[in-house]
Structure 1
Amino acid sequence: MDQQKSMDTAFFGQPRGLSTLFFTEMWERFSYYGMRAILLFYMFYAVEKGGLGMDETTAASVMSIYGSLVYLSGIVGGWLSDRVWGTRKTVFIGGVLIMFGHIALSLPFGLPALYASIALIVAGTGLLKPNVSDMVGSLYEEGDKRRDAGFSMFVFGINLGAAVAPWAVPWAAGGFGFHLFGSETNFHAGFSLAAIGMFFGLLQYWLDGKKYLSKDSLYPNDPIDRDGLKPIITWTVVAVIVVAVILGLLAAMGQLNITNVINLITVIAIALPIVYFIMMLNSAKVTKVERSRVKAYISLFIAAAIFWGIEESGSVVLALFAEQRTILHIGSWHFAAANFQTLNPLFIMLLTPFFVWLWSAWKNQPSAPAKFAAGMVIAGLSYMWMALPGIIHGTTSGRVSPFWLVGSWFIVEIAEMLISPIGLSVTTKLAPKAFQSQMMSMWFLANSAGQAVNAQIVKYYSADTEIQYFLIIGGVSVVFGIVMFFLVKKIHALMEGID
């Protein structure tokens, strides 16, 4: 099998299976980012404009907690792949759920369809997202020098789908450029295009997968037996009962509403990583050296959570700024507020080659904590930058140049280059052997926790509070980054020999 892997160069010198996974993930990201580009507007636009007429603050909180749930669900997806279904089946089931989630949104059934869609896409993304990357790694034998290049091509596919979607889906929602729906935006047409994108991804994955993906992916790596399944079922039932009791109590008190459900999810998203850290620090399976490394990771985790709270605001706070405060044309070229969502993946594609070269050429480069500290300062500056239009013009009631948003996204993506890939790498290095896979889940929980906090603080954003909002949150990130600079040596010492 290994010899076959090394001989397979059918996809630009890479294994043919990489093409299968490249296009599967490209279409999945197309569907997700396309849906995300217009979902906030769909929720708070008035009914006569094709939306749900939801309160703007509630809509922003729903968007944030949605993102939090997506990263929470990845923990379950990784476990089901390793212990029950195997990666290939898990990815396919996830893709089907995502497609049905987009189909639900494409139907004019209001809030019930929205909540059903969120549930389906959260579950589906949790199954698909963590396991596609694992399948890419399985295409290469140990020591294959093509591995890094293969992952680079795979990441390019992710960002390609994410970059195209914020143009294609709003274009469909706007009548495909022909104003087919009059002055009303037909969001359902846009969501339909997202569903079609996921369908193409599934079709390609199903047909190509049988030919070019490893048969090992059909089976779980560590299949669970009956004895191992019993405690999982018990704890799952207990968790469901606890949540049901809490929801029942809220209903009995007349407090069962979307705001309190968001509050409950926020508590879970913040509490879960705390429980994980306590469990690892007190486990007899963790050595003294490993415990020191986990302590070092706590500061990196907090930094990552703050960073992701800012970075992921592109589909929430910055989307509101794009809609309400930005001039949506440059000369005679007019565009939609949703189109700004393309800047995130676009800048990642542009900046990644430079940073790959930088880390390869820089001999005495900073340690991981120092890179995180710099990333925190830069991420904070991307928010403080957004306070400048209101400060300069002396008002937050008019519209400003779109280049303010372009600049903010460019700055925050520089920060992402310092935090995201470095964080993934250092997470694997600092993980205790007994918690190797759980530690990778912790990295995704940082994103979940950051967005859960966002779901609470986004309530304070409005045109009246714009300057204070950006300055305070950006300032928190900058201050945390500066504090980290002073603690770099101490954190690095706790890492016990890990660079």
Structure 2
Amino acid sequence: MTHSITTPRADSVPPPRKAKLPRGVWSMAFTELWERYSFYGLQGILSFYLLYSLADGGLEVAPAAAAGIVGAYGGAVYLAQVIGAWFGDRLVAPKLMVLFGAIVIMAGHIVLAFAQGLGGLGIGLVLIVIGTGALKTNITSIVGFLVEGRPQQERDVSFSYFYMAINIGAVVGPLTTGWVQNEYGFHWGFGLAAVGMAGALVQYLVSWKKLPERASVVNNPLPRNKYPVFAGAAVVGLLVLGGAIWSGMLRAENLASTTTILALLAAAAYFITMCTSRSVTRDERSRVLAYLPLFLFSGIYFGLLFQKFTAISILITERINLQIGDWTFPVAWITTVSPLAAVLITPLIAKLWNSMGSRQPSPVTKFGIGLVQIGCAYLFLLIISQATGDAFIPLALILLFMAMAGSSEVFVGPIGLSVATQIGPKSFKSQMVGLNFLTLALGSSLSGLLGQLFAAIESPAYFSIVSATGLVLGAVLIIARKPLGRWLSSGQ
């Protein structure tokens, strides 16, 4: 049988194939939605719980210390996900890790709802850190299993909708907990976050039997003769942490810097391990090395974005009038605008990528666009903060800034997830997702350091530095998009 090769006319070229969501993506998306509801429901009011006076139901912590605690908590949540990814790869099946994580997170929110003071806050946050570490990377790995072997177009669309579910939870959580906190107090808001986590657990159990077979398998089991080494390392780590807390070496003021260092060390360990492993091929190694600049730039991007929980929260308490007549605008609602903007723009951007098919911008270009946009958002904040002088900044303008900054996330967050699950070496699939989540750890801890810097210098200089950082790094990525793109697709 012979085949003739003809060149199709331009008007006969078929339109790009419409991507379909694999079965199971929506189930995981709704589970993640409720988990993020609880997480961001807490995150939306945590900064203000620390900053508000005792008379207003807060803990009256100094701004720099509050920024350090919030940044370190966020960083620790994502650092724990590296450990959770390792467990999901070496010791416990991913679907069991997700179940354990959901239960522990719910317990942490219940503690926050009933316990008082810094002691209760600390216990609740530690439980949430442990539970989220077990759940997050492993549920993302399950989504990766669902889209395995599919074209990049379908992978990006699937992860865009999965990420949209994350942002829906990030919107509805603070909206509801913020209103409850505004009307009844902080601990009622923490309790509502526990209800959200219960919803995540129920949704996950409903979809339990529909999970792919790979979710029930340990991908790269740890040899039993190495169990004692693992147990010894875990005990030593806990002793070091306990000693640092007991001796006073680890305190609120240096929590963010400590978490930043740990995030960088963990990332370095992952890159070195993957690049030196004998089970990693030459092409896989090239792709991992090409991911390094994306990792660093993504970490900086999230540091700029997560300032809504640190520097911007301080700005809100100092320069925003929340009174609208006799009604007080819930303070948590301001930060909610950021993920809301991402939710609203995601279907439009996903449809655009889908319609463009292979003509859509490369992942590197998308990262660059996100950095440039958030740089422009902080430039806008610089202008309005200067124009208002020492007066209150109008609430509408700070909401507009939040929308500008938040909508940039669609160019970085879901694309990073998609790239990480595609380029990861076969023997390090879950751990590659954990490495991607380290960008959030780095970003969260950086946001704590930036919040401390904001408390120490004049706001015009601060916003100038932040804006220039986003604009310059975004331009660098756009310029370097072609060689980085070739290395990222090496061997594929």
TM-score higher than 0.5 here? Answer: yes
1:399 maps to amino acid: F
The answer to whether structure 1 residue 373 and structure 2 residue 368 are counterparts is yes
The answer to whether structure 1 residue 409 and structure 2 residue 407 are counterparts is no
1:31 maps to amino acid: S
The answer to whether structure 1 residue 351 and structure 2 residue 345 are counterparts is yes
Q: 2:238 aligns with which of 228, 237, 240?
A: 240
Give the aligned partner of residue 465 of structure 2.
472
After TM superposition, which residue ranges in structure 1, 4 or more long, deviate above 6 angstroms?
Answer: 139-150, 330-333
Could you tell which deviates more after superposition, 44-53 or 192-201?
A: 192-201
- Provide the C-alpha distance between the structure 2 equivalents of 1:139 and 1:303, rounded to a whole number of angstroms: 28
Give the aligned partner of residue 166 of structure 2.
158
Give the aligned partner of residue 418 of structure 2.
425
The answer to whether structure 1 residue 229 and structure 2 residue 227 are counterparts is yes
Instruction: Give the C-alpha shift of residue 139 in structure 1.
Output: 6.4
2:350 maps to amino acid: V
Q: Which of the pair has the greater relative contact order for Cα pairs under 8 Å at 6+ separation?
A: 2
> Could you tell me whether the CA contact under 8 Å between 2:80 and 2:134 is conserved in 1?
yes
1:319 maps to amino acid: S
Instruction: Give the C-alpha shift of residue 233 in structure 1.
Output: 2.3
Instruction: Give the C-alpha shift of residue 243 in structure 1.
Output: 4.0
Q: 1:170 aligns with which of 172, 178, 181?
A: 178
The answer to whether structure 1 residue 310 and structure 2 residue 310 are counterparts is no
Give the aligned partner of residue 485 of structure 1.
478
**Change beyond 3 A, Cα 1:415–1:211:** closer
> Could you tell me whether the CA contact under 8 Å between 1:37 and 1:341 is conserved in 2?
yes
> Could you tell me whether the CA contact under 8 Å between 2:137 and 2:433 is conserved in 1?
no
Instruction: Give the C-alpha shift of residue 47 in structure 1.
Output: 1.4
Q: 2:379 aligns with which of 373, 377, 384?
A: 384
- Provide the C-alpha distance between the structure 2 equivalents of 1:147 and 1:472, rounded to a whole number of angstroms: 35
Coordinate RMSD, CA, aligned? 3.3
**Change beyond 3 A, Cα 1:32–1:410:** same
Instruction: Give the C-alpha shift of residue 386 in structure 1.
Output: 1.1
1:391 maps to amino acid: Q
- SS of equivalent to 2:183: coil
Residues 126-137 of structure 1 correspond to what in structure 2 (within 5 A)? 126-136=133-143
2:224 maps to amino acid: R
Residues 271-290 of structure 1 correspond to what in structure 2 (within 5 A)? 271-290=265-284
> Could you tell me whether the CA contact under 8 Å between 1:82 and 1:223 is conserved in 2?
yes
C-alpha deviations, 1:172-205, integer Å up to 9, x for none? Answer: 22335xxxxxxxxx21111111112222333454
> Could you tell me whether the CA contact under 8 Å between 2:337 and 2:406 is conserved in 1?
no
- Provide the C-alpha distance between the structure 2 equivalents of 1:161 and 1:460, rounded to a whole number of angstroms: 30
Instruction: Give the C-alpha shift of residue 43 in structure 1.
Output: 1.1
The answer to whether structure 1 residue 37 and structure 2 residue 44 are counterparts is yes
Could you tell which deviates more after superposition, 208-217 or 228-237?
A: 208-217
- Provide the C-alpha distance between the structure 1 equivalents of 2:489 and 2:150, rounded to a whole number of angstroms: 26
Specify every segment of 5 or more residues in structure 2 that has no aligned partner in the other structure, as ranges: 1-20
C-alpha deviations, 1:337-376, integer Å up to 9, x for none? Answer: 2112222332122111221122233354433323322322
- Provide the C-alpha distance between the structure 2 equivalents of 1:459 and 1:228, rounded to a whole number of angstroms: 42
Specify every segment of 5 or more residues in structure 1 that has no aligned partner in the other structure, as ranges: 1-12, 177-185
Instruction: Give the C-alpha shift of residue 478 in structure 1.
Output: 1.4
Residues 54-453 of structure 1 correspond to what in structure 2 (within 5 A)? 54-136=61-143, 154-175=162-183, 186-206=185-205, 208-209=206-207, 217=215, 220-244=218-242, 246=244, 251=247, 255-328=249-322, 334-362=328-356, 363-393=358-388, 395=389, 397-453=390-446
**Change beyond 3 A, Cα 1:482–1:242:** same
- Provide the C-alpha distance between the structure 2 equivalents of 1:240 and 1:205, rounded to a whole number of angstroms: 31
**Change beyond 3 A, Cα 1:58–1:106:** same
**Change beyond 3 A, Cα 1:106–1:255:** same
Instruction: Give the C-alpha shift of residue 309 in structure 1.
Output: 0.4
Query: TM (normalized to structure 2)?
Result: 0.84
Instruction: Give the C-alpha shift of residue 169 in structure 1.
Output: 0.9
Instruction: Give the C-alpha shift of residue 322 in structure 1.
Output: 2.9
Query: TM (normalized to structure 1)?
Result: 0.83
> Could you tell me whether the CA contact under 8 Å between 1:429 and 1:498 is conserved in 2?
no
- Provide the C-alpha distance between the structure 2 equivalents of 1:230 and 1:68, rounded to a whole number of angstroms: 29
> Could you tell me whether the CA contact under 8 Å between 1:24 and 1:202 is conserved in 2?
yes
**Change beyond 3 A, Cα 1:154–1:483:** closer
Could you tell which deviates more after superposition, 306-315 or 87-96?
A: 87-96
Q: 1:26 aligns with which of 2, 25, 33?
A: 33
- SS of equivalent to 2:391: coil
> Could you tell me whether the CA contact under 8 Å between 2:102 and 2:201 is conserved in 1?
yes
- Provide the C-alpha distance between the structure 2 equivalents of 1:218 and 1:497, rounded to a whole number of angstroms: 30
- Provide the C-alpha distance between the structure 2 equivalents of 1:215 and 1:434, rounded to a whole number of angstroms: 17
**Change beyond 3 A, Cα 1:279–1:141:** closer
- Provide the C-alpha distance between the structure 1 equivalents of 2:294 and 2:117, rounded to a whole number of angstroms: 41
C-alpha deviations, 1:218-237, integer Å up to 9, x for none? Answer: 55445444224233224333
1:202 maps to amino acid: L
C-alpha deviations, 1:435-461, integer Å up to 9, x for none? Answer: 433322221111211222222231121
